[in-house]
Structure 1
Amino acid sequence: MTRFITPRYFTEPQSQAVEQSLKRLSIGDPEGIRVFIIALEYELAEYEKLPQEDVTETVVSATTPAPELARIADLAEQTATALTGLAGEARAALLLQLSTSDRFGRRHDDAYVGAVSAELLRIAEACGSSTLPVPAPTENDRLRPADEHFIRTLAEAYYECFETLADDNGGEPFYSLLQDIFEISDLRINLDLERLQGLLH
């Protein structure tokens, strides 16, 4: 544990915040908590020395339509099919209502229904073949090598101080502790529980 001896990294309020997080999550005893905070300060200082590789943001084309457009395509196609299949009194009632409500006094007949149905199918086809640019994962969406190293090293310190594996119980309460540490230390590391479990195995 001598590797954890280092000048203070945290301010007093930050150190107290980490201690409160550990207590709130029922992690460790007073001595374990004290040593873990020292270890954490050491690893934060080391983390700042690691290369913080930038992630270049690029744009790629989606291979499938955007969900909103796909939904419109389905609705337009269904509406076109329903209009075309409408017959008898229901068709006559619709055409009459459309004609009487038209502010320009236009007559709506079977040709109008056919034209509207064709336009709806054109919209469906356009929506079905459209794709939206999808941004590639940005720096906030992916873990850099420095982030992964920092998290794995903290997992080791967690085990050394508390004699508990970080991935026990599906990664809790270690995951919640990490989220508190990121916030207290103002680290912009976007980590979900599934990604953490992958790192720890």
Structure 2
Amino acid sequence: MTRFLAPRYFSPEQIGAVERALTELSIGDEEGVRIFIIALEYELAEYEKYASDQEPPEMQTKAPDPELAALSRDLLQALTQIKQLPAESRRWMLERLSTEDMFDRRHDQAYLDAVTTQLARIAEACVCSTSDQHIIAELGEAEKHFIGVVAEAYFECFETAPGKNGGEPFISLLQRVVEISGLDIPLEKSRLEPILSTIG
């Protein structure tokens, strides 16, 4: 498996969370897990660079009213801006939040990841179909590429096709990784299957 040295995308807490997810899903041995996390950090960093140069995919849904549609757009824009903050600006913001917190709580990268995950959930909740059925956004090219290379890394590290057994446990792992990373990538199974079917 050919990989460049990965940047330190994850905090130690996030690495621990990915390791727990792999353990809970009974995926891989110690060496496979180590190599997979290295590959994952590299691909996440590449995805953020690639995604920042592309327009976000359109939501194929109708909002119940204009106010919620506008709120959803504003939240998605805010998410993009937060993710693109330079490291120094992000550090300053978190330090300011910690200093001014009336309960003396610590605000670190894990806190910021949790906030962005919740903002993404609110943005999704503001948008629904006319039949009140939740419809996931289309995957953009950056998202398709990211899912594909992570699936390839999964196959190479664990010698298991990601699309096997209806995509499990790979899809569950991918969902956990997206949540841990604070990314807003829709993971509808029907849209993952064409990507996974080409690997392995």
| TM-score, normalised via structure 1 length | 0.57
Match of 1:200 among 188, 196, 199: 196
Shift of 1:6: 1.8
Change beyond 3 A, Cα 1:43–1:59:
closer
- Aligned-pair RMSD on alpha carbons? 2.5
Whole-angstrom distance in 2 between the partners of 1:2 and 1:9: 19
Map of 1:38 onto structure 2: 38
1:36-71, CA deviations, whole angstroms, 9 ceiling, x for partnerless residues?
Answer: 0000000001001114322456888xxxxxxxxxxx
Instruction: Report % sequence identity.
Output: 56
Change beyond 3 A, Cα 1:8–1:143:
same
Whole-angstrom distance in 2 between the partners of 1:4 and 1:182: 22
Which protein is bigger by CA-based radius of gyration?
1
Listed as ranges, the gaps of 5+ residues in structure 2 are: 63-128
Change beyond 3 A, Cα 1:181–1:59:
closer
1:109-133, CA deviations, whole angstroms, 9 ceiling, x for partnerless residues?
Answer: xxxxxxxxxxxxxxxxxxxxxxxx9
The list of structure 1 runs, each at least 4 consecutive aligned residues, that deviate by more than 4 angstroms after superposition, is 56-60
- Map 1:1-201 → 2, pairs under 5 A: 1-51=1-51, 52-56=54-58, 141-201=137-197
1:4-47, CA deviations, whole angstroms, 9 ceiling, x for partnerless residues?
Answer: 41221100000000000001000000000000000000000100
1:100-151, CA deviations, whole angstroms, 9 ceiling, x for partnerless residues?
Answer: xxxxxxxxxxxxxxxxxxxxxxxxxxxxxxxxx95xxxx9611111000000
Alpha carbons 1:140, 1:188 under 8 Å: kept? no
* Matched length: 127
Change beyond 3 A, Cα 1:16–1:58:
closer
Alpha carbons 2:10, 2:41 under 8 Å: kept? yes
